[in-house]
Amino acid sequence: MDGTLGQMMRVVIGAGVETFAATAGRALEDERLPPAEHRPWPLPREPWVMAQSWQHALFAHWPLPPAQLRPFVPAGVTLDTFEGQAWLGITAFVVAGARIRGVPAVPGISTFAEVNLRTYVTTEDKPGVLFLSLDAASVAAVLGARAWFRLPYYFTAGDAQSRGGRMRFVSRREHPGGPSARFSARYGAAASRRLPGGAELTRWLLERYCLYCGADGTLLRAEIHHQPWPVQAAEATIEENTLPNALGLRVDDSTALLHFASGVDAVIWPPRVVDGTRRAA
């Protein structure tokens, strides 16, 4: 996206949505949010701007040496590690009911398949997610998130369907000019009650309540709120996975740490520049 055009879209989209969310949207919405006792820091005071449900989620994770992931970490945050290991994750799920505050979900464009490639970072005692790529089967979501949240979204031909109690997920990136990447898997909840990696690592990987993005010399953070993930062990067959390869990373799909969650309802706040990271004019 051209720099000037991108800046114009950010101003128009951001200002319009935030103004609506703070006025008409706030008047039309119930102010009650899910309990927040599980959060590591308080909820933002300003109104949230987006709501969506994340359903039928597969989490696949691999430990990697920190040196392999540090080149992707923007200035202003530190690569987060667990017992000295950095982690690369893939999350495949269905976005349902995506909408702006005060506006009903639009049939046909508010539900779509999405898969993201991520790692974990922290700053100011707020550990969060750093997305390395996001593939969504929604042109509107891709354009909006790229322009406003500055996230590395790509349009994909994607589909997710439940068959016999298991999910069949397919994503094939078709973004103009974007690197080729595919992901497909069959997955569902496992019978085992034991969480892969243990409860402490599972919480560390999944319970993250903000996202970070480096853009134009600044660091952006967007706050997120939802109930704790109803996480279980997963059974999954990863049939194709070239998302890491598109960034020069390599993982062994057969060694993935696998979790499944039926879903959560989430609200998202607008991206804000993290103090001290704004580029000098």
Interior CA angle at 229 toward 195 and 171, to 5°?
Answer: 90
Residues 52/96, Cβ–Cβ less than 8 Å? yes
Residue indicated by tokens 């309802």: 265
The percent helix, strand, coil of the chain (3-state, each to 5) is 20, 45, 35
State residue 280's pLDDT score: 36
The predicted-structure confidence for 119-172, as pLDDT tens digits, reads as follows 999 999 999 999 999 999 999 999 989 988 999 999 999 999 998 889 999 999
Question: Cα separation of 22 and 20, whole Å?
Answer: 5
Lowest mean pLDDT across 90-99, 102-111, 119-128: 102-111
φ/ψ of 260, rounded to 5, equals -130, 145
The predicted-structure confidence for 182-212, as pLDDT tens digits, reads as follows 999 999 999 998 999 999 999 999 999 999 9
In Å, what is the CA distance from 121 to each residue of 29, 44, 162? Answer: 32, 20, 33
In Å, what is the CA distance from 7 to each residue of 141, 144, 213? Answer: 17, 12, 16
